[in-house]
């Protein structure tokens, strides 16, 4: 058989540890809000002022308990 056969069984834990390294989830890209200057995720409305693309799209107010 020669080089075709594997040298030994690779356990599921060892295999999964190796495969987990290449599928890491990247961190979210943060940008500075153009209206208030807070950090926010790109292509989403700002949580602190409610603006998107220099327009107010959400009304942000105090949460009532």
Q: Which domain holds residue 45?
A: 25-60
Strand (E) or helix (H) holding 13: helix 12-20
Give me the chain's average pLDDT, please: 83
Domain contains 10: no
| Length reported for the chain | 65
Domain contains 3: no
Domain contains 38: yes
* pTM of the complete model: 0.50
- Locate the DSSP E strands across the chain: 30-32, 39-41, 51-52, 55-56
Q: Grade residue 1 by pLDDT with cuts at 50, 70 and 90.
A: low
Q: State the average pLDDT over residues 43-48.
A: 91
What's the total number of domains in the chain?
Answer: 1
Is the predicted pLDDT of residue 21 greater than 90, yes or no? no
Domain contains 4: no
């Amino acid at each position: 058989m020669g080089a075709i056969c594997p040298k030994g069984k690779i356990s599921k834990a060892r295999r999964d540890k190796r495969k987990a390294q290449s599928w890491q989830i990247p961190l979210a890209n943060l940008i500075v809000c153009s209206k208030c200057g807070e950090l926010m995720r790109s292509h989403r409305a700002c949580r602190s002022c409610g603006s998107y693309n220099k327009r107010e799209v959400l009304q942000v107010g105090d949460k009532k308990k």
